[in-house]
A = this chain, B = another copy of it.
Amino acid sequence: MINKKNNIFAYLISNMFTQSEENYLKAIYHLELVSTKGISTNAIAKKIETKASSVTDMVKKLSDKKVVVYKKYKGVKLTSLGKKTAANIVRKHRLWEVFLVEKLNFSWDEVHEVAEQLEHIKSPKLINQLDAFLDFPKQDPHGDPIPDKEGNLKTIEKSLLATLHKNEIGICVGVNDSSSEFLQFLDKQGITIGQEIKVLDKEDFDNSLSIEIDQKELSISSKIANNLYIQKK
């Protein structure tokens, strides 16, 4: 029961960002991690599953709020305020994912949808206490790094499984695709974060790999190998 005029809390949160604005900021943040250029309207539209015209509108609003720099036809870039804001949303998302897996027995393929909602809850105390309650985790259940309070993100060194050569060994440290289909597939194959993987053979024909996990041999497609991050041993 939130009222903009009489409720101080509601006033404070109304002065921040709407759920929709937060989703745009997060999308731009993720896109900036891959490309260094200005993020195009179409790229955002695709990511957020909306229309380019809606993106243009929102991007103007975000520009007014000083979280992005926007030049017509030239795409957008997050300002430092924008980066910090977006990182904070990602921080919340990933901390909630840890909570769901560690405390509520969710599996790693079930957490995304719920975290997508929980990330918008406004309460600094909540997220700080949650962080402490979870013992200050550094990665989410998919191996993605959790930004710290200042929005700094410590990326660990990782390579795609597909880049390993024959007889090399790696430890699974993350996934590139975190769709529930892919994650469930990994579960079925017994592949989890921390799992040791040895490349037994590489097939030139289709780039599929023959790998060893837990003393078992397994053949995986190139698509799989390009969505699994490992740390070389």
Chain B residues contacting A23 (CB-CB under 8 Å) are: 1-2
Chain B residues contacting A33 (CB-CB under 8 Å) are: none
Given the interface pairs A23-B1, A47-B1, the reply to whether A104 lies near B117 with Cβ below 8 Å is: no
Q: A6 vs B26: C-alpha distance in the bound complex, in angstroms? A: 19
Chain B residues contacting A104 (CB-CB under 8 Å) are: 126, 129-130, 133
Once the chains bind, are B123 and A114 in contact (CB under 8 Å)? yes
Given the interface pairs A1-B48, A23-B1, the reply to whether A114 lies near B121 with Cβ below 8 Å is: yes
In chain A, positions 25-67 with a C-beta closer than 8 Å to chain B are 26-27, 47-50
Q: A9 vs B6: C-alpha distance in the bound complex, in angstroms? A: 34
Once the chains bind, are A117 and B125 in contact (CB under 8 Å)? no
- Residue from A5, A104, A130 with most neighbouring chain B CB atoms (10 Å): A104
Pick the residue among B117, B123, B129 that contacts A123 (CB under 8 A): B117
User: Which segment, of A105-113, A143-151, A210-218, faces chain B?
Assistant: A105-113
**Interface presence of A15 (CB below 8 A):** no
Q: A117 vs B10: C-alpha distance in the bound complex, in angstroms? A: 11
Contact size class for A? Answer: 20 to 34
Q: A103 vs B125: C-alpha distance in the bound complex, in angstroms? A: 13
Least CB distance from A100 to B in Å reads: 7
Q: A116 vs B100: C-alpha distance in the bound complex, in angstroms? A: 20
Q: A106 vs B126: C-alpha distance in the bound complex, in angstroms? A: 8
**Interface presence of A3 (CB below 8 A):** yes
Pick the residue among B27, B106, B125 that contacts A1 (CB under 8 A): B27
CB-nearest residue of chain B relative to A5? B49
Q: A126 vs B26: C-alpha distance in the bound complex, in angstroms? A: 23
In order of increasing CB-CB distance, the 5 nearest A-B pairs are A3-B49, A104-B129, A114-B123, A9-B113, A117-B121
Q: A1-B48, A100-B126, A117-B123 are in contact. List 13 more A-B contacts (CB 8 A).
A: A1-B23, A1-B116, A2-B23, A3-B49, A3-B50, A5-B49, A6-B49, A7-B49, A104-B133, A106-B129, A114-B121, A117-B122, A118-B121
